[in-house]
């Protein structure tokens, strides 16, 4: 089982590459949309990343602010779903 730290560093790597942003510029406790890192299509891209990297499909019900509201929330969501 991957640690939360590993899930987080992989996710940040992906965000940095996919959305052309320095990792240092990503505020991990803030909404990625509100801080301008991604737009609404970015949510689809993250869901696709989760499917590919962590092997599970994000349902429409799961795609909400509790799970997708920040990097920290995403990491928690991925960790919980996998364990």
Partner 1 sequence: MHNNIKNVKRCTKCILSANFPRIKFDEKGVCNFCNNELLHSTEQEDITSATLEVQKLFDDKRGKSEYDAIVCYSGGKDSTYTLKLAVEKYKLNILSFTLDNGFISPVAFKNIEKVVTALGVDHITYRPSYEFMKGLYRVSSLENIYNPKTLTRISSNCNSCISIINITSLKIALEKRIPFILAGFTLGQIPSNTIYYQNNYEFFKESRKPILDKFKSEIGPEVSRYMEISEDLLKSSESFPHNINLLCMEDITENEILEKIKPLGWIKPGDVDGCSTNCRINSFNNYVHTLKFGYSPYELELSHLIRKNLLSREEALEKLFDQPEDQINYAKSELKLDENQILKNKVV
| x-marked contacts with partner 1 along 19-58 as a string, rule CB under 8 A | xxx-----------x--xxxxxxxxxx-xxx--x------
User: What's the min distance (Å) between Cβ of 60 and partner 1?
Assistant: 5
Q: What gap in Å lies between CA 52 and CA 36, rounded to an integer?
A: 24
Residue among 5 and 61 whose Cβ is closer to partner 1: 61
Q: Can you say whether the dihedral through the CA atoms of 62, 63, 65, 68 is positive or negative?
A: positive
As a whole number of angstroms, the longest Cα–Cα distance in the chain is: 32
DSSP-assigned states of every residue in 38-65: --HHHHHHHHHHHHHHH--PPPTTT-SH
Among residues 2 and 45, whose Cβ is nearest to partner 1? Answer: 45
State the nearest-atom distance from the C-beta of 81 to partner 1, in Å: 17
* Residues contributing to the site for partner 1 (CB under 8 A): 17-21, 33, 36-45, 47-49, 52, 60, 63-65, 68
């Amino acid at each position: 089982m991957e640690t939360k730290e590993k899930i987080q560093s992989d996710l940040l790597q992906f965000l940095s590459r996919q959305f052309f942003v320095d990792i240092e510029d990503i505020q991990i406790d803030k909404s990625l949309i509100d801080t301008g890192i991604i737009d609404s299509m970015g949510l689809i891209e993250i869901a696709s990343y989760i499917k590919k990297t962590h092997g599970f499909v994000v349902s429409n019900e799961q795609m909400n602010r509790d799970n997708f509201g920040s990097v920290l929330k995403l990491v928690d969501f991925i960790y919980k779903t996998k364990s």
